[in-house]
A = this chain, B = another copy of it.
Amino acid sequence: MPDRRLPAPAGGSLPAVRRREQADPEALVTRARAGDPRALARLVSLVENASGELRQVMKVIAPLAGGARVIGLTGSPGVGKSTVTGALVRSYRAEGLRVGVLAVDPTSPFSGGALLGDRVRMQEHATDDGVFIRSMASRGHLGGLAWATPQALRVLDAAGFDVILIETVGVGQAEVQIAATADTTLVVAAPGMGDSVQAAKAGVLEIADIFVVNKSDRPGAQDAVRDLRTMLAMARYGPADWKPPIVSTVASAGDGIADLADAIGRHESWLAESGERDRRRRARAREEVSAIAVTQLRERLGGLPGGARLEELADRVAVGDIDPYSAADELIGG
């Protein structure tokens, strides 16, 4: 999905600009760090498209990243994650912080434009140079969003954003993993439809640093808070552990957002004091390196979906001619 803050450049200058940018990742990084939104958008596109220049870009920015606070938001569809994200953007902007938003659309191979409706709500920030909003699509790339998201995060981090919000749309395995690699993970729920129970079902409770009960002016909000409290009461925490607070919000009206920002701030202090921040960042780097390594291996061995050898072997598996393990052996030279 294109970044809406960037109108298409006019006229015939685009190819020339593109060529220059492709030729010089360092210049692109310098421009992005100076606050040029076009350079930044171009860098994120390099990630999305798994461009060959990415390698050089990553070399350049390696020593520059690490300053941003990374906040993940997950939760069932319909609970208002985008509205909470928007309210947090406003809150951090009021403090004068530069804010980046990565909205992770898990199923974009099928539906590139699905997030458009949500992003429209962010249009109030469209002319604010201190905000960069991007819907991440995996563009059918092999490694998917587990591959792309940490790298896009790294780009925004190196570009000097103070806070980066990662909002996931779905609530499956990949999305929970992505949200969980943040410094602070918010699990957003809403009253009704047994959402807190549904969240438990989807396994997101265990990754929550902070629970947000959004739409808390609706019937059932107190029940949702009570359900979460009950669940938390059953968990065992050591004296030095972080105990996830529950924050009630009506994000559409801005209610409770100051409390939420406070809770995030307290968690950030705890992260720094406990050493957990470093642990999480190492875990994030591990996922990032691992995803790159596996993707490169798949490419190197021609084991790409769509690769002719794989097709041929899979066809034999489909008709029961050989088993999938023997096929895998033949593919990678077992």
* Chain A residues in the interface with B (C-beta under 8 A): 54-55, 58-59, 61-66, 76-78, 105-111, 114-115, 117-118, 138, 144-145, 150-151, 154, 168-176, 192-195, 197-207, 278, 281-290, 292-294, 296-298, 301, 303, 305, 310-311, 313-315, 317-329, 331-332, 334
Complex contact B278–A318 (CB within 8 A): yes
Q: Which of B107, B201, B205 contacts A115 (CB 8 A)?
A: B201
Is there an interface contact between A176 and B110, defined as CB atoms closer than 8 Å? Answer: yes
Give every chain B residue within 8 A of A168 (Cβ-Cβ). 172
User: A305 to chain B: which residues have CB within 8 Å?
Assistant: 286-287, 290
Q: Does B59 lie within 8 Å of A198, measured CB to CB?
A: no
The reply to whether A78 and B200 form a contact with Cβ atoms under 8 Å apart is no
Q: Is the CB of A314 within 8 A of B289?
A: yes
A63-B320, A76-B77 given; name 9 further pairs at CB < 8 Å.
A55-B325, A64-B320, A78-B198, A105-B203, A173-B175, A174-B174, A192-B193, A284-B318, A289-B314
Residues of chain B with a CB closer than 8 A to A200's CB: 111, 114
Q: How far is the CA of A284 from the CA of B66 in the complex (A)?
A: 40
Across the A-B interface, give the 10 residue pairs with the lowest CB-CB distance, nearest first: A172-B172, A107-B203, A170-B172, A286-B314, A106-B173, A77-B198, A62-B323, A110-B206, A58-B323, A285-B317
| B residues near A193, Cβ cutoff 8 Å | 78, 192-193
- Chain B nearest CB: distance from A281 CB in Å? 5
Q: Give the residue of B66, B172, B296, B327 whose beta carbon is less than 8 angstroms from that of A174.
A: B172
Chain B residues lying within 8 Å of A117, measured Cβ to Cβ, are 197, 201
Are the C-beta atoms of B173 and A289 separated by less than 8 Å? no
| B332 pairs with A310, CB closer than 8 A | no
How distant is A90 from chain B, measured CB to nearest CB, in Å? 23
